[in-house]
Chain A
Amino acid sequence: MSTLLSVDNLTKSFARGGIFGRTEFVAVDHVSFSLESATPEIFAIIGESGSGKTTLARMVLNTMSPSSGVIRFQGTDISRLRTGRDRLQFMRKVQPIFQNPSEAFNPLKRVDRYLFASAYHFAGCRSRDGREIAADEALKKVGLSLAEVKGRFPHELSGGQLQRTAIARALISSPALIVADEPVSMVDASLRMSIVNLFKTLRDELKVSIVYITHDLATAYYISDRVLILQKGKVVEMGSARQVLSEPHHPYTVRLRESILSLDDVERVHTSG
């Protein structure tokens, strides 16, 4: 079985200046996990803010280099991608989606430009028609069409349309892996479900694996196959999403579980008050 992504003992430390000299701060601490090519999955990385999720995502996306440890994508150590061609090939296959759709788009730039640029750089569409077709196909995969977004500025689209457009952009190059860093933290509950349902469809129909970074345990339970719980840069628990989230073992996971607001509290709060 071939491995899509393997993360092996990944560590990132930052220097923090102090009066008595610099100290090392370890943001990601010996993290290891792997995803298999044959079984596309939604792999959730859960942790509070500051636990190192974004730092881990940046290293997987090859936009930040680790202090130690190795990341292999389809067997290749990504720190050894030297030529422009190899890097482009990697960026095609591993695409990011960010937290806040309105920050991912420049407010003064039409959103279709992002789609056309991806079609040009990552899908090799040199003709204008080719770019439009590629953009339209990608938008259809997320339940939109080019007709709905063509010529529009970010503020002319709803938050949901914008996040879907960001996902469509990521799909243009037919990636094998999407790294989504808190993609639903800034969107409404009703929209949140349409985005996470879309991730399921991408996994099942397009066979894309998704690293889903979140602090929302309920959506992670709903869509993920496996979860990794990160506390202060360290993996404290990893396994099947149902198991880890229904019967957590590590005290930290238990604490996270207990902190999520339960709908059943509606009973407790309102019968006591």
Chain B
Amino acid sequence: MEEAALSVQNLRAYYVTGHFGMQREVRAVDDVSLSVRKNEIYGIAGESSCGKSTFIKTVAAAIRPPLRVLGGSIKYSFLDRDLYDLDERKLADIRWNHLSFIPQGSMNVLNPVRRIRESFQDFAFPHMGLGRSEFFDVVNRHLERLQLSPSILSAFPHELSGGMRQRVAIALATVCRPEFIIADEPTTALDVVVQKDVLALILETQREIGSSMIFVTHDLTVHANISNRLGIMYAGRLIEEGPTREIFHDPLHPYSRHLVASLPRIGDLTPKIALTGAPPNLAQPPSGCRFHPRCPLATDLCRQASPELTTLSSGRRVACYAVASAPATRPMTNDRMTNDKFKSF
């Protein structure tokens, strides 16, 4: 089998804080294993506070206290050892060049008091090993490819619209042609029209430079349009994974089934029933399956033991007792978004 672009094994990353001698742990990423194939866009979905950003920070080596990595391994194909065995200097070397980041708010990478040109100079120039004028030739060509006018280089971030700034952040993250790109909710703050353009730009750039990518968003509709495979997180755990298309056609985990069934669509007036209850507090997660307090199929077993993420014969992975005990080859339903058990949700 081809070597993975990124392979994460049994990753645990907690926020550990001490108050009055009492230690408090927020188990934001708890035993997550996944691998991202070369040239693929791997999507991560799940509602807010399920641990998506924490996972991203961990694989981007952007850990700051109180966040701590308590266990697991992270291997990128362009590195000969584990990410956490690198020193700061080596880390600084791989950032932008091999591994880059598109954040939710472009203002997190663009310095508000510096012109765009200076942001390119600060971040990308040191990595390119080019003279100044060659460097700006490369930058100009890259901007043109992304249909941005090189004149934006002399603008300040606040002079650009939100969509334009996000394009600039994408240009900045891709100008060094990194092998791996991590994007955290890069289109969440944008309007529909702009969002579609920015997604097309990300897809095109990723294909053109042939990078692999992790794309995080809680918005499943965005995943439908960009992610090749999808991992769904719930309360710090990966609970389902498979090709995006298959998850939309036939979600297996009760939580994923709920997410897919509750999506509003133009032309569809069937009542969408929301999940009851709230996501758990990760400082005191529920016993057993973390979804059990909200799950319509929960049994005593679910309350006591935690289901492992199990690989099915189809190659999909799911962590649910109700699914693992079902026949391994479920027929694909044509009846895409509906599922009888879920009418009662």
Task: List A residues at the B interface (Cβ < 8 Å).
Answer: 48-49, 158-161, 187-191, 193-194, 196-197, 215-219, 221-222, 242, 245-246, 255-257, 259-263, 265-267, 269-270, 273
What CA separation (Å) do A160 and B267 show in the bound complex?
A: 26
Which residues of B279-294 have CB atoms within 8 Å of chain A's CB atoms?
279
| Interface size, chain B (Cβ < 8 Å) | 42
CB A122 to nearest CB in B, in angstroms, measures 28
> Is B191 part of the binding interface, using a Cβ–Cβ cutoff of 8 Å?
yes
Q: Is the CB of A193 within 8 A of B193?
A: no
CB B263 to nearest CB in A, in angstroms, measures 7
Given the complex, which residues of B lie within 8 Å of A246, measured CB to CB?
266-267
Q: Is the CB of A161 within 8 A of B278?
A: yes
Q: Is the CB of B262 within 8 A of A189?
A: yes
Task: List B residues at the A interface (Cβ < 8 Å).
Answer: 47-48, 162, 191-196, 199, 203, 207, 218-222, 224-226, 228, 243-245, 248, 258-259, 262-269, 271-275, 278-279
**Which residue in B207, B225, B268 is a CB contact (below 8 Å) of A265?**
B225
Given the complex, which residues of B lie within 8 Å of A270, measured CB to CB?
228, 243-245
**Nearest 3 interchain pairs by C-beta:** A194-B274, A266-B224, A218-B264
Given the complex, which residues of A lie within 8 Å of B259, measured CB to CB?
189-190
Given the complex, which residues of A lie within 8 Å of B274, measured CB to CB?
190-191, 193-194, 197
What CA separation (Å) do A263 and B225 show in the bound complex?
A: 7
Given the complex, which residues of A lie within 8 Å of B243, measured CB to CB?
270
Q: Is the CB of B218 within 8 A of A188?
A: yes
**Which residue in A49, A159, A160, A269 is a CB contact (below 8 Å) of B191?**
A49
Q: If the complex has contacts A221-B264, A266-B245, are A260 and B224 also in contact, measured as CB distance less than 8 A? A: no
CB B47 to nearest CB in A, in angstroms, measures 4
Given the complex, which residues of B lie within 8 Å of A245, measured CB to CB?
266
Given the complex, which residues of B lie within 8 Å of A189, measured CB to CB?
47, 218-221, 259, 262-263
What CA separation (Å) do A260 and B264 show in the bound complex?
A: 12
Among residues of A, the one whose C-beta sits closest to the C-beta of B194 is A48
What CA separation (Å) do A158 and B281 show in the bound complex?
A: 9
Output the residue of B196, B203, B221 with the most chain A CB within 10 A. B221
Q: Is the CB of B272 within 8 A of A197?
A: yes
Please list 23 pairs of residues, one from A and one from B, whose beta carbons are closer than 8 Å in the complex, sorted by A's number. A48-B192, A49-B191, A159-B48, A160-B278, A188-B47, A188-B48, A189-B259, A193-B264, A193-B274, A194-B274, A197-B271, A218-B266, A246-B266, A256-B193, A261-B192, A262-B224, A265-B225, A269-B203, A269-B224, A270-B228, A270-B243, A273-B207, A273-B228
Among residues of A, the one whose C-beta sits closest to the C-beta of B249 is A266
Among residues of B, the one whose C-beta sits closest to the C-beta of A51 is B191
CB B219 to nearest CB in A, in angstroms, measures 6
What CA separation (Å) do A218 and B262 show in the bound complex?
A: 12
**Which residue in B47, B162, B279 is a CB contact (below 8 Å) of A49?**
B162
**Which residue in A159, A194, A256 is a CB contact (below 8 Å) of B192?**
A256
Q: Is the CB of A190 within 8 A of B258?
A: yes
What CA separation (Å) do A86 and B228 show in the bound complex?
A: 58
Q: Is the CB of A48 within 8 A of B193?
A: yes
What CA separation (Å) do A233 and B82 show in the bound complex?
A: 55
Q: Is the CB of A261 within 8 A of B218?
A: no
**Which residue in B194, B225, B275, B278 is a CB contact (below 8 Å) of A269?**
B225
**Which residue in B191, B224, B273, B279 is a CB contact (below 8 Å) of A261?**
B224
Given the complex, which residues of A lie within 8 Å of B196, measured CB to CB?
259-261
Output the residue of A188, A189, A194, A256 with the most chain B CB within 10 A. A189
Given the complex, which residues of A lie within 8 Å of B192, measured CB to CB?
48, 215-217, 256, 259-261
Among residues of B, the one whose C-beta sits closest to the C-beta of A221 is B266
What CA separation (Å) do A218 and B222 show in the bound complex?
A: 13
A269-B224, A269-B226 are known contacts; what are 20 more A-B pairs with Cβ within 8 Å? A48-B192, A189-B219, A190-B258, A194-B275, A217-B192, A222-B268, A222-B269, A246-B266, A246-B267, A255-B193, A256-B192, A259-B192, A260-B266, A261-B195, A261-B199, A261-B224, A262-B265, A263-B265, A266-B248, A270-B245
